[in-house]
Amino acid sequence: MEKEKYEVMAAIDVGSNSLRMMIAQVTSEGEIIPLEDLYMPTHIGKDTFSYGRIQVESIHDTCDTLKGFLKIIKDYKLKNYRAVSTSGIREAENREYVLEQIKNRTGLEVEVINNAQERFLMSKAIRSYMANEKKFTDKGILIIDIRSGGVEISVYSEGSLRFTEYMKVGSLRLREILASLEKRTLDFPGLMEEFIESRIDFMKLILPKFDIKSFVGLGGELKTIIKLCTKKKNNKFQIKKEDLKKLYEKVHRLTTSQIIEEFSLSKNQAEILLPSIILFNSFLEMTNANSIFAPMVSLRHGLLVHMVDDRFNTARKKEAYDDIITSVWHIGKKYSIDEVHSRFIEKIALSIFDQSKKIHVLGETERFYLRVASILHDIGKYVNHNNHDVHSYNIIRFQDIMGLSDSELNIVANIARYHSDEIPNLSHDNYYVLDAGEKIIVSKLAVILRIAEALDISHKQKIKKLEINNYSKELHFNVWADQNIMLEKWTFASNVNFFEEVMGSKPVIRCRG
């Protein structure tokens, strides 16, 4: 029997409220066994949310802490490690200076991830947890991840992601937004609750549709809340609804200084305890769940899962990407896309991609970009049928598509931009700003999408089968249809020159049935 492979990896989270590093032993089967989990508080988020910039002292402290983390990484002789930062650095006006100083003073390159990437990593951590929790399989599950800068809401049902939303009502951000009001009212908790309710009230119309029976909580000083509510039992953390309610009623009457004294907490912990409890309690009231499960997974768990999946190409990797596609369909439905047409275009476009790999020589990542663009290519019709390709670009560009970085989102938006009448042109700002490699990717995938669109220009799904054969400088598209496809052939012909220019092979359509 072959011995199971394993490695040691490290994940660093340069967060808004803390700097954390987890070192873990990982196996080729995707198992993660933590070896060390280090923590150091930071004022990064407090600076950013209060002043818009990270203060010099915080930069010094961050560099000193990260130097210590890197020393431990070197002691372990690790080659596989990754550091990411979230809203604290992402939203700072001086973020480029901060990242440059970290790199020069510590040698560590910190990657700034957006909300969509953060959501993706957390979803991987959650999936890893849920895989061992069979009781969650068939029920509606609400997952609330309270971060310093915002709250991530996810709903799973029958093992699939059904809904996701991000709102900028994070625990630390709320404290900084409302800080000036705390000394001007005797009922600051009530004021904060009123503010939070105004921001999340619309969820009362959405969540009941999913018949949520299970509630999973993440972040938001959950460890502290658990200590104040309950005790660890059988290695599973759980907070009963009535216990959270009692804590909520108690904390609701206390000022920050009273919370520090009453529960022996640090100032940092006390400041975010109140908004966290209000948020958890408010969302719990919108469900049929009677408790909160607290698996204690985190961004660094998700980062490790992602690193393992990429390293060993685990089965879990496909499940994570299926979640992204589910969220993409949710976006499409929100903008009333023609689902039948979009599913057909997705199928045809991917078939063309797969059958012409030797021509375009692109990989799985680019295939995924094409898949997302195929689903959302007509989303701009929600705004106006005229110039809908431009509207599609604008809508996609400003979506939070789970797992996609800002540059990847821009690539997908550009692919959709050029699925219709216009071809990429350097006079277009959206295309001009792409680097040389991105321009090639966009052009190749856009022309594949254009051919797919041509084959269903009537929106009647006439093509029943497609086979592609490469003959010297020609690419033969053999199609089987059960109706007249004169319109499809005419539209196909209008894309021949662009396809040949980009791919180097002339596409030829041949009717076989």
Task: Answer yes or no: is 280 within a domain.
Answer: yes
- Cα separation, 128 vs 323, in Å, equals 13
Q: How many CA atoms are closer than 13 Å to the CA of 337, on its beta-carbon side? A: 27
Distances (CA, A) of 361 to 409, 415, 441, 443, 474: 21, 17, 10, 13, 16
Q: What is the DSSP string of 277-325?
A: HHHHHHHHTTSS-SEEE-----HHHHHHHHHHHHHHT-THHHHHHHHHH
Distances (CA, A) of 220 to 177, 193, 262, 294: 17, 15, 19, 11
**Number of other CB atoms surrounding residue 255 within 10 Å:** 16
**Number of other CB atoms surrounding residue 326 within 10 Å:** 16
Q: Are 273 and 265 in contact (CB under 8 A)?
A: yes
* Boundaries of domain holding 363: 335-511
Instruction: Output 337 or 219, whichever has higher pLDDT.
Output: 337
> Are 84 and 203 within one domain?
no
Nearest to 239 by CA among 261, 257, 265, 216: 216
- Cα separation, 84 vs 8, in Å, equals 18
> Are 495 and 449 within one domain?
yes
User: Above 60 in pLDDT, residue 233?
Assistant: no
Q: What is the DSSP string of 362-424?
A: --HHHHHHHHHHHHHTTGGGGT-STTHHHHHHHHHHTS--TT--HHHHHHHHHHHHTSSS---
> Are 286 and 142 within one domain?
yes
Per-residue pLDDT at 47: 94
Mean local confidence (pLDDT), 3-22:
89
251 pLDDT band (50/70/90 cuts)? confident
- Cα separation, 66 vs 354, in Å, equals 44
* Domain count across the chain: 3
Q: What is the DSSP string of 24-71?
A: EEEETTS-EEEEEEEEEE--HHHHHHHHSS--HHHHHHHHHHHHHHHH
Q: Are 511 and 481 in contact (CB under 8 A)?
A: yes
C-alpha torsion sign, points 116, 118, 121, 125: negative
> Are 199 and 72 within one domain?
no
Strands 6-14 and 81-85: what pairing? parallel
User: Above 80 in pLDDT, residue 3?
Assistant: no
> Are 77 and 220 within one domain?
no
> Are 237 and 383 within one domain?
no
User: Above 50 in pLDDT, residue 510?
Assistant: yes
**Residue 506 parent element (H or E):** strand 506-511
> Are 263 and 341 within one domain?
no
User: Above 80 in pLDDT, residue 159?
Assistant: no
- Does pTM surpass 0.85? no
Angle at 360 between CA 356 and CA 363, to 5 degrees: 95
Which residue, 294, 324, 356, sits at the end of a domain?
294
- Cα separation, 167 vs 291, in Å, equals 23
CATH of the domain at 450: 1.10.3210.10
Per-residue pLDDT at 99: 97
Mean local confidence (pLDDT), 186-208:
89
> Are 106 and 160 within one domain?
no
Structure tokens at 347: 């199928």
> Are 218 and 77 within one domain?
no
- Cα separation, 305 vs 302, in Å, equals 5
Per-residue pLDDT at 176: 82
- Cα separation, 207 vs 211, in Å, equals 7
- Cα separation, 219 vs 169, in Å, equals 13
User: Above 90 in pLDDT, residue 83?
Assistant: yes
pLDDT in tens, 368-387: 999 999 999 999 999 999 99
127 pLDDT band (50/70/90 cuts)? confident
Structure tokens at 208: 């009941």
Instruction: Output 318 or 62, whichever has higher pLDDT.
Output: 62
User: Above 80 in pLDDT, residue 132?
Assistant: no
CATH of the domain at 100: 3.30.420.40
> Are 262 and 354 within one domain?
no
> Are 143 and 280 within one domain?
yes
- Average pLDDT over the chain reads 90
Structure tokens at 10: 């490290």
Per-residue pLDDT at 234: 45
- Cα separation, 489 vs 483, in Å, equals 12
User: Above 60 in pLDDT, residue 235?
Assistant: no
Amino acid at 373: A
Q: Are 416 and 377 in contact (CB under 8 A)?
A: yes
Total count of residues recorded for the chain = 513
Task: Answer yes or no: is 1 within a domain.
Answer: no
Structure tokens at 417: 């931009």
Mean local confidence (pLDDT), 139-155:
87
Structure tokens at 378: 């007509």
Least confident of 19-23, 170-174, 243-247, 479-483: 170-174
Instruction: Determine if residue 139 is left, alpha or beta; phi over 0 gives left, psi from -120 to 50 gives alpha, anything else beta.
Output: beta
